[in-house]
């Protein structure tokens, strides 16, 4: 497959995304190829650790390849997307539960599906160019690929803020919020990877102090603004504030799907309250994505952002009356269609 390079080098299983012109967007076939490699290497004594990286400077992986999801959904075929998400989520769980070190090198954009194949690893490395985000509410989805769990476990109410505003995190903020572990300048990566391949020893990963971020200083205000019970409470608090942070958050949120944001809040609250794990998070996310094409805003969100690029989505609901009841409907159990983690 020309979109991905999978091989063994020294003591390392190596995965490299090789479609930089597409910002290394991960396709369904790429997900299946990564999963097969992980299955093979889990019991391979020659493989001490797994390294995933990507070609190009702009992006480790800017998300999932959604063109075919859109095309099939528009044609009324919802089964393709449901299968894609189910199999992708199974891979995300496999990475989170992997028995060997899984080391991700995340330069440039790491968003959506890119988070799913990197930020559940045991060693997550960022550099100066790293920009990590969960932008799904802007296209009618919820933060998925297990990203909801990272958001729920972020300090205070950062999860609500990052999920609803789709804000991008530089290296320090990504580490602070729990999406990364170590800051290492990118010009050190080649030597580090060579050392990891040679030795299979993760003790060679030594992070440095990243440039100053912003989230830790903003934490008290974010906690105050996003401490309500639901999306409506957040909107009331934001609209009552005259701060720059509140104004910026409102501007972002007014562009996003109200249904997606209301559902995101509900998912985060459920995960945080139950001390959720990766499988619980993915199962909740799948309840939404299973219904996203037929009952949600996903197709309209992709049309506005990717297909027509008019940036003027016609969402089903209005932020003036946040769709709490509709969000609960999107998150009802799926019965026989529930997420499983079987191949």
- Give the CATH number for residue 66: 3.90.226.10
* pLDDT band, very low/low/confident/very high, at 1 (cuts 50, 70, 90): low
Percent with pLDDT over 90 in the chain: 96
Q: Is the pLDDT of residue 51 over 90?
A: yes
Tell me: the pLDDT tens digits for 59-99? 999 998 888 899 999 999 999 999 999 999 999 999 999 99
The whole model's pTM is what? 0.97
The mean pLDDT of 171-194, rounded to a whole number, is 98
* pLDDT band, very low/low/confident/very high, at 170 (cuts 50, 70, 90): very high
> Structurally, how many domains does the chain consist of?
1
Tell me: the pLDDT tens digits for 222-276? 999 999 999 999 999 999 999 999 999 999 999 999 999 999 999 999 999 766 7
List b or e across 94-131, with b for residues whose CB sees 16 or more CB atoms inside 10 angstroms. bbbebebbbbbbbbbbbbbbbbbbbbbbbbbbbbebbb
What's the length of the chain? 343
Q: Is the pLDDT of residue 27 over 80?
A: yes
CB 137 within 8 A of CB 264: yes
| Structural domain containing residue 159 | 1-343
Question: 168: part of which helix (H) or strand (E)?
Answer: none
The mean pLDDT of 118-126, rounded to a whole number, is 98
Cβ contacts of 159 within 8 Å, gap of 6 or more? 148, 150, 151, 152, 153, 268, 272
Task: Provide the greatest CA pair distance for the chain.
Answer: 59
3-state secondary structure of 314: coil
119 or 276, greater pLDDT: 119
CB 227 within 8 A of CB 157: yes
* pLDDT band, very low/low/confident/very high, at 197 (cuts 50, 70, 90): very high
> What's the CA gap between 283 and 286, in Å, rounded?
5
């Amino acid at each position: 497959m020309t979109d991905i390079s999978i091989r063994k080098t020294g003591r390392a299983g190596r995965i490299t995304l090789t479609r930089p012109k597409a910002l290394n967007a991960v396709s369904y076939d790429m997900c299946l190829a990564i999963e097969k490699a992980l299955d093979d290497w889990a019991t391979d004594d020659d493989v001490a650790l797994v390294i995933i990286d990507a070609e190009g400077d702009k992006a480790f992986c800017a998300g999932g390849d959604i063109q075919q999801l859109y095309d099939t959904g528009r044609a009324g075929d919802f089964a393709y997307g449901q299968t894609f998400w189910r199999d992708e989520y199974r891979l995300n769980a496999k990475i989170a539960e992997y028995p060997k070190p899984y080391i991700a090198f995340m330069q440039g954009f790491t968003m959506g599906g890119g988070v799913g194949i990197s930020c559940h690893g045991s060693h997550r490395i960022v550099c100066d160019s790293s920009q990590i985000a969960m932008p799904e509410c802007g296209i009618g989805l919820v933060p998925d690929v297990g990203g909801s769990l990272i958001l729920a476990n972020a300090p205070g109410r950062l999860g609500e803020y990052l999920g609803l505003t789709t804000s991008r995190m530089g290296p320090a903020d990504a580490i602070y919020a729990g999406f990364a572990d170590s800051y290492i300048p990118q010009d050190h990566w080649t030597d580090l990877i060579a050392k990891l391949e040679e030795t299979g020893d993760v003790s060679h990963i030594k992070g440095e102090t990243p440039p100053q971020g912003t989230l830790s200083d903003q934490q008290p205000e974010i906690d105050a603004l996003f401490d309500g019970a639901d999306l409506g409470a957040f909107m009331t608090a934001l609209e009552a504030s005259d701060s720059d942070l509140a104004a910026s958050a409102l501007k972002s949120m007014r562009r996003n799907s109200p249904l997606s944001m209301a559902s995101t809040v509900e998912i985060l609250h459920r995960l945080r309250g139950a001390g959720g794990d990766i499988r619980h998070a993915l199962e909740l996310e799948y309840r939404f994505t299973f219904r996203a094409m037929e009952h949600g805003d996903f197709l309209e969100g992709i049309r506005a952002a990717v297909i027509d690029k008019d940036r003027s989505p016609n969402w089903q609901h209005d932020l003036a009356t946040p769709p709490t009841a509709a969000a609960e409907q999107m998150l009802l159990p799926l019965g026989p269609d529930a997420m499983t983690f079987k191949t």
